[in-house]
Amino acid sequence: MAQSSPSSSSLNPPHRFLLGPGPSDVHPRVLAALGMPLLGHLDPTFVAIMDQTQALLRSVFRTENRLTIAVSGTGSAGMEAVVVNLIEPGDKMLVCVNGVFGGRMVDVAGRAGAEVVSIERPYGEVFDPEEVGKAIKEHRPKVVGIVHAETSTGALQPVDEIAKLAHEAGALIAIDTVTSLGGVPVEIDKWEIDAVYSGTQKCLSCPPGLAPVSFGPRALEAIHRRKTKVQSWYLDMTMIERYWGGDRFYHHTAPISMNYALREALQIVIEEGLEERFARHKLNHEALKAGLAAMGIGYATAKGRELPQLNCVTIPAGIDDATVRGRLLNEYGIEIGGGLGSLKGKAWRIGLMGYGSRRSNVALLLAALETILGELGHRFERGAALAAAGIVYRSAKA
């Protein structure tokens, strides 16, 4: 029997409006950067691009940390890089869990040999500094880990007070900013955060594939006084910092094109201005919220803690999750996310991140939802969603 031959057709993925929890729509300049000629990973021109990327990352992270780099891997690699470098077998790590990604941090820490202690809040809620401080005093961890922007619930967690409490107890604090970096303020030096990781595919509007990380002086001291080797050779910062540092010691072949893309994405962030970028995300969030409210759709996230770039909203009673998301994708080319964990089947996650945080996307999604939900029998005043969003935008210009 003749074997079937591979497809000879050219690659032609459909256009989507990526309005889910990530990846987000990529800026055209970033897409263009991906197509630029390859260089060697030690080529002087590429080394200069690495230097530029570091400087831009420091600006976006709001830090002077020397070891601020892009790990070759997705945001989860950033999480693992932070944990395995700070944790030695037997070290105690306190992890705050109020969503899927806090739970993932628990798993990563356990695999690194940590004695893991977790405290929990229901999905959609955030931690009070007092309850975290109490756990820190009781357990005396080496590292406190917490998610700044929980992608699974759309909750924004204040971390500055928690960092102070950790330091008072002699602990380090590590935070997850995968969904927050570039969308809401991230103040690494001001908040005295010891280690932080992020991802490229959310508010930076770059394809997935790199994980920005930054290690402060206390974290570097802990890494350099380790008694054991870092569990992961690939993510060992004692070697990677030499590649990104002055001597350019070979460690691995960096993903050249992705570094081009990240450099361009960060440049776009700086050109727009951080405060202006945060304001844009907040305005589009408020317009979306008003439009959804007009259709009787509220938020699953605790009031006042909603992320502007990741809207976790409750599915109306009697409406099937998969049906709506399937129709959005197939009829309008719009991707939104379903709920995770305890919110599965009960919530939608709508991303307005980076380049995707635009008035046109808000209008498109609200119009599509009005049509689909109306046809499925959900009762609301037709046209009210777009009208409510329009009021928000007009008020912003007044």
Strand partners, 119: 96
Q: Is residue 342 a contact partner of residue 312, using CB atoms and an 8 Å limit?
A: no
Q: Could you tell me the two tokens for 286?
A: 């408020």
State the chain's mean pLDDT as an integer: 96
Q: Containing H/E element for 347?
A: strand 347-351
- Pick 28-271's CATH classification: 3.40.640.10, 3.40.50.10710, 1.20.1050.10, 3.40.1180.10: 3.40.640.10
**Superfamily designation of domain 273-397:** Aspartate Aminotransferase, domain 1 (3.90.1150.10)
Q: How many whole angstroms separate alpha carbon 92 and alpha carbon 141?
A: 5
pLDDT in tens, 330-361: 999 999 999 999 999 999 999 999 999 999 99
Q: Percent of the chain scored above 90 by pLDDT?
A: 93
Average pLDDT over residues 40-50: 93
The amino acid at residue 363 is A
pLDDT in tens, 218-240: 999 999 999 999 999 999 999 99
| Number of DSSP helices (H) and strands (E) in the chain, helices first | 14, 14
What SS3 string covers 255-276?
CHHHHHHHHHHHHHHHHHCHHH
Q: How many whole angstroms separate alpha carbon 99 and alpha carbon 150?
A: 6
**Residue 279 DSSP SS3:** helix
Same topology between domain 28-271 and domain 273-397 = no
Q: How many whole angstroms separate alpha carbon 380 and alpha carbon 319?
A: 13
Q: With CA atoms as reference, report the closest residue to 87 among 31, 145, 4.
A: 145
pLDDT in tens, 245-261: 877 888 888 999 999 99
E-strand ranges in 177-220 read: 195-197, 210-215
Average pLDDT over residues 376-395: 97
Look at strands 347-351 and 310-314 and give their pairing: antiparallel
**Residue 365 DSSP SS3:** helix
Specify the pTM. 0.95
pLDDT at 1 over 60: no
Q: Is 205 exposed, middle or buried (0-12, 13-18, 19+ CB in 10 A)?
A: buried
- pLDDT score, position 14: 94
The amino acid at residue 69 is I
Q: Containing H/E element for 176?
A: strand 172-176
* Orientation of helix 384-397 relative to helix 359-375, angle to 10°: 160
Domain ranges of the chain: 28-271, 273-397
